[in-house]
Structure 1
């Protein structure tokens, strides 16, 4: 049997930039699992998520409990597509902490879509009603105001996806 080197896939991009679409595609690879924050937040905290501070609180709880599990999965040789936003230095630091407890490699997928494209996708997603959370234009701008692209000193292998990739 050949040894498989697992990969942690992470995603950086504004709301509706295409992170979950790319995550679903990557999760189709052999010996790869998808862990999607929106699914977990919806199942565990849907009634508590009303504001940005609510999201920060609930997401923090989720990250705390999942980090050791994700490291175990990676160390077992299974790749993880981590559909959690890596949109702030703090979020990426949490992901870096997971990597430091594994021998896995990683890819930080940076999805760069203009706000107009994200907002159009968001309107379409909201109208379909198939996403666990409907996000308003004001919420999009509130969350986007915290977006910080990764810098080289964070030491991530960045794979850039421009709008249209």
Structure 2
């Protein structure tokens, strides 16, 4: 075995693995950002919308439907995500880490395997999000259509991340520009 191949095979637990999580209102740009974040070697993307659309077609009609299906999916994926991180594979989660509870799940992931992490917070106004949402609905490219009333109903549960939650946070504005970085 060459020293070069030994280096590839000698990846230890969480060797350079990073867990990336995104926080932002509907249509704030989370999926667009995660597509950019995954463009790094040894990085995988797991998209909640894709999994939910495949696992629970036509079952999401209310916020309660979403909450129960998403919780079930997180339970199933937890061990898999931790295994990837422990193997040195970075993971980008295109999940809305928009509440204290969902962020607690994210924290449990990176703490379980002691890997690096970033919570990417897209700080975008309701007006811009609604404009993007309407354009997304018209395009038909997203697996879910969300009305303005549904946007308002869901956004009531949105809680911006707080420094005392213990995350490394990168804040972005509506153009995708980084406004600030803060480590825990």
TM-score clears 0.5: yes
Query: Segments of 4+ in structure 1 off by > 3 A?
Result: none
Query: Please, which of 85, 88, 91 is the counterpart of residue 80 of structure 1?
Result: 91
- Whole-angstrom distance in 2 between the partners of 1:27 and 1:135: 26
Secondary structure in 2 matching 1:109 = strand
- Whole-angstrom distance in 2 between the partners of 1:127 and 1:69: 35
Pair 1:57 & 2:84 matched: no
Q: Which has the higher contact order (CA 8 A, sep 6+)?
A: 1
Q: TM-score, normalised by structure 2?
A: 0.87
Cα deviations across residues 124-146 of structure 1 (Å, max 9, x unaligned)? 10001010000010111111100
- Whole-angstrom distance in 1 between the partners of 2:57 and 2:100: 25
The aligned counterpart of 1:148 is 159
**What is the number of residues matched between the two proteins?**
165
| Structure 1 gap segments, 5+ residues each | none
Distance apart, 1:85 and its partner CA: 0.6
Cα deviations across residues 60-88 of structure 1 (Å, max 9, x unaligned)? 00000001110000000000000001100
- Whole-angstrom distance in 2 between the partners of 1:29 and 1:135: 31
Question: Rg bigger for which structure?
Answer: 2
Query: Please, which of 137, 158, 162 is the counterpart of residue 126 of structure 1?
Result: 137
| Structure 2 gap segments, 5+ residues each | 1-6, 178-184
Distance apart, 1:103 and its partner CA: 2.3
**Superposed CA RMSD:** 1.0
